Amino acid sequence: MNGEPHIVIIGAGIGGLTSAALLAQAGVRVTVLESSTYPGGCAGTYYHQGYRFEAGATLAGGFQPGGPHAIVGERLGIDWPVRPADPAWVVHLPGREIVLSRDRSAMLAQFPDSAPFWEEQARAADVAWKMAARALPWPPGNVAEALRLARTGLGQLPGGVSLARLAFSTVRQWLARHDLAGDPAFVRFVDSLLLISAQTTSEAANALYSATALDLPRQGVMDVAGGIGGLAQTLAETIRGFGGEVRYKHTVTGIEVEGGKATRVHTRHGRRVGETLDGDFVIANLTPWSLDGLLGDDSPARLRREVRRRAPGWGAFVLYLGVDVAQLPASLPDHHQIITGMDGPLGEGRSVFVSFSPAWDASRAPEGRRAVTVTTHTAVRPWWDLIEADPDGYAARKEQYTERLLDAIEGVIPGFRSGLTLVMPGTPVTYANWTHRHLGMVGGFPQTSLFRVRGPRTGLPNVRLVGDSIFPGQSTAGVTVGAMRVVDDVLRALPRPAERRLIVPRPREVR
């Protein structure tokens, strides 16, 4: 590889690893630097007292034919260690349960009037998946990208659905066109799905983006053997197999800029001063705030302005639980979303996602136990205000949230509390320590407009962002789409592009 460009990737989250693997496979020299001792970031798995806990993400979509993980797997020769989760998950609204699976019949039985809406959603999602599968530059960032899009002819939707109309609508407006906006139970149900897939609810969520966000159960979701960190482990092994490097316990402490370009990165190895690596390109699997911090005085004015002005995104309050199987109902689905009331904003304990390690995966917990990850959206600031000014108040709030979430679970799985063998809470402060994400913000930005999305550009010609801060945002599938697009962009910018062109398959492979 002598004389080959060297690309430094900061962070071994799914976005960073996917980028590195695709670049390594294209023959580019890559080095991934990861602060932690294991890969995956928010989609990592850690060990504790015989349990393997999923740190954040628990369900993975995008493995269907033409889905982002399927494309990357095919390209890299990866056999992902996944098994379908069926049902995908159960939404518990007060007084009713909606079972979500690829076959939508159980959901339609609950909301029969919504069938035409879901048919339209499915048609729009099919087109959006095709765009994603072809790493198309949606939304276009310049005239050349707009022309690339226009040449695909994908704007024409079957069945009279106008892509352009959805692109300019909120989900609430879309529901109104189907006379569904006045049905409080259906709106609450859709809002609960959007909160976890678009980071916002129907009043603000962009309809075209949400066509894919709402498609998750129809496309099928997967459990990962050994925990979701298995995706990241597989990618790390793949990178090494293609001659790339993945270094753990290497924290990047600064990016040096010369002549308007990034030239090298500085690291800390554990507690020791690390090394300095030259790089022709830097891919930062980071939030804009973290990248700005690493660039220091060399941060481009636009990036600096962005981090000053951007409102903070969501954080997560999480419980990692061990539970005795004997106290659980015999045929309990693995994944649940509990909505505790019909009023008030979702989040802060009103929407609680609960994932049990699958019964088939004995590696996840001591015998007779299951590992459980429980999450709810929370605003990040109050946690930081408390930990700095009132540590006792911080501890009390943690306790209060723990009780609130356990009560929510007890409400739908009576007896659950009596089976608890381990309870470990985590706040945005915990997340900031684990993943170095600014203020512990997770999940990227709410997807409210396709015309104001955050792309990968940073203001420095040889530095790109990847991960859930860039379009299309959160989820292992979402950051994989973002990574495919970033890699395409980087390969175009490197010398000899013709030999390393697009990393995605031709359209015939897209179903």
What does the binding site for ligand FAD look like in residue numbers (CB under 6 A)? Answer: 10-16, 33-36, 41-43, 56-60, 251-252, 285-286, 290, 316, 318, 375, 435-437, 442-443, 467-468, 474-477, 479
Using only C-alpha atoms, the chain has a radius of gyration, in whole angstroms, of: 22
CA 357-361-364 angle, 5° bins: 60
Smallest distance, ligand FAD to C-beta of residue 11, A: 2
Residues 167 and 298: their CA atoms lie apart, in Å, by 36
Looking at beta carbons only, is 169 or 337 nearer to ligand FAD?
337
Smallest distance, ligand FAD to C-beta of residue 438, A: 10
Looking at beta carbons only, is 170 or 219 nearer to ligand FAD?
219
Smallest distance, ligand FAD to C-beta of residue 294, A: 6
Asked whether 427 and 399 are in contact (CB, 8 A), the reply is no
Smallest distance, ligand FAD to C-beta of residue 165, A: 28
Smallest distance, ligand FAD to C-beta of residue 474, A: 4
Asked whether 438 and 428 are in contact (CB, 8 A), the reply is no
Cβ neighbours of 389 (radius 10 Å): 9
Looking at beta carbons only, is 8 or 149 nearer to ligand FAD?
8
Residues 108 and 46: their CA atoms lie apart, in Å, by 38
Looking at beta carbons only, is 120 or 334 nearer to ligand FAD?
334
Asked whether 285 and 436 are in contact (CB, 8 A), the reply is no
Looking at beta carbons only, is 91 or 479 nearer to ligand FAD?
479
Looking at beta carbons only, is 13 or 87 nearer to ligand FAD?
13
Residue with tokens 């109050």: 382
Tokens of 233: 């482990």
> Closest Cα partner for 125 from 218, 248, 242?
218
Give 417's contacts (C-beta < 8 A, 6+ positions apart): 406, 409, 410
Looking at beta carbons only, is 42 or 149 nearer to ligand FAD?
42
How many angstroms separate the Cα of 476 from the Cα of each of 60, 221, 450?
6, 11, 20
Residues 252 and 297: their CA atoms lie apart, in Å, by 16
Smallest distance, ligand FAD to C-beta of residue 113, A: 29
Q: Which residues of 230-257 are buried (b: 16+ CB within 10 A; e: fewer)?
A: bbbbbbbebbeebebbbebbbbbebbbb
Looking at beta carbons only, is 114 or 469 nearer to ligand FAD?
469
Looking at beta carbons only, is 58 or 234 nearer to ligand FAD?
58
Smallest distance, ligand FAD to C-beta of residue 32, A: 9
Smallest distance, ligand FAD to C-beta of residue 361, A: 16
- β-pair type (89-93, 335-339): parallel
Burial of 335 (0-12, 13-18, 19+ CB in 10 A): buried
Smallest distance, ligand FAD to C-beta of residue 104, A: 20
Residues 480 and 268: their CA atoms lie apart, in Å, by 28
Looking at beta carbons only, is 120 or 223 nearer to ligand FAD?
223
How many angstroms separate the Cα of 150 from the Cα of each of 131, 145, 453, 505?
11, 9, 20, 19
Looking at beta carbons only, is 56 or 137 nearer to ligand FAD?
56
Residue with tokens 């996602």: 353
Smallest distance, ligand FAD to C-beta of residue 125, A: 16
> Closest Cα partner for 409 from 315, 503, 280, 323?
323
Element (H, E) at 284: strand 281-284
Smallest distance, ligand FAD to C-beta of residue 114, A: 24
